[in-house]
Amino acid sequence: MPKKIKRHTAKPKAVKSKGDARNTVFRFKITLDDSSPKVWRRILVPANYTFFDFHVAIQNAMGWCDGHLHAFHIAQKGTAKPLEIRFSDPENDDQFGGEFLDERLERIADYFGKLVKQCKYCYDFGDNWDHTILFEREMPAEPGADYPQCTAGANACPPEDCGGVWGYRDLQKILANPRHKEHQEMAEWMCLDDAKDFDPAEFDAEEAEFEDPRHRLKEYEQGFGVKPVREH
């Protein structure tokens, strides 16, 4: 039986966006904390997105593979403990403990804007890829345009499972030094014919491809075997 999601008593009150959320987009800047070179993306997403939908857009824009757990953290007034929004995973809920909100039920329009200007997004609780998400503005959707969109950004997404930002720095040094004892091993680990093929500065916003979050949600719910528990 699905586990009932506990809700923070300090949950912020909903703040409606200026326009119809169905015809409104939010612009965010997403920066990978402490990365070198600095990895960032600017994206436009529908204002009626849930946090799960937003998660999928972040993964697609950054270049992650969505193979690890993730969570959003929003600072709360009067307490050092942030509000956590994530997917319910019965195998790990007890391990990580604490209260959280189900990201399938929370909509970004109820948080970002007047209420919240930025939050944290952590991907992979082992490597701890921490991102700062900055809400930049709300704007009307362009007629006929497809969203999400990646409009700007810089530098390549680090490879998964390389040990976080510090492991990524070491990896770059190893690949740049043909005489390093781990040079060939790391090149093979990254499936590179030549270590020179790896370019940390490579990124083209126009090549970012976004998937339908509904398809990813089905995979999540089938994989974790849990449905959202809606409060009445």
Domain assignments of the chain as residue spans, ordered by start:
21-157+208-223, 158-202
**Closest to 121 in 3D by CA, of 5, 44, 33, 12:** 33
- Asked whether the predicted pLDDT for residue 43 surpasses 80, the reply is yes
- Asked whether the predicted pLDDT for residue 18 surpasses 60, the reply is no
| DSSP assigned state of 213 | H
pLDDT of residue 217: 94
How would you label 37-51 residue by residue, b for 16+ Cβ within 10 Å and e otherwise? Answer: eebbbbbbbbbbbbb
The pLDDT tens digits of the residues spanning 27-37 come to: 999 999 999 99
**Closest to 136 in 3D by CA, of 36, 38, 41, 20:** 41
Judged by average pLDDT, the poorest of 3-12, 66-75, 93-102, 163-172 is 3-12
Give the neighbor-by-neighbor strand order of the sheet with 118-123: 101-102, 79-86, 70-76, 118-123, 129-140, 24-32, 40-46, 149-154
- pTM (two decimals): 0.87
Residue with tokens 């790391």, as numbered in its chain = 186
Rg for the chain, CA atoms, rounded: 19
Contact 200, 192 (CB under 8 A): no
Enter the CATH code of domain 21-157+208-223: 3.10.290.30
Q: How confident is the model at residue 227 (pLDDT cuts 50, 70, 90)?
A: low
Please tell me whether residue 89 adopts helix, strand or coil conformation: coil
Strands 40-46, 24-32: pairing kind: antiparallel
pLDDT of residue 176: 94
The stretch 19-46 carries a mean pLDDT of 93
The answer for 97, left when phi > 0, alpha when psi is -120 to 50, beta otherwise, is left
pLDDT of residue 1: 32
Residue with tokens 């929003």, as numbered in its chain = 74
The pLDDT tens digits of the residues spanning 47-104 come to: 999 999 999 999 999 999 999 999 999 999 888 889 999 998 766 665 666 789 999 9
Distance, in Å, from the CA atom of 69 to the CA atom of 87, rounded to the nearest integer, reads 8
Q: How far does Cα 39 stand from its chain's mean position?
A: 13
Q: What are phi and psi for residue 182, nearest 5 degrees?
A: -105, 5
pLDDT of residue 15: 40
Distance, in Å, from the CA atom of 58 to the CA atom of 109, rounded to the nearest integer, reads 16
β-strand partners of 70? 123
Distance, in Å, from the CA atom of 100 to the CA atom of 72, rounded to the nearest integer, reads 10
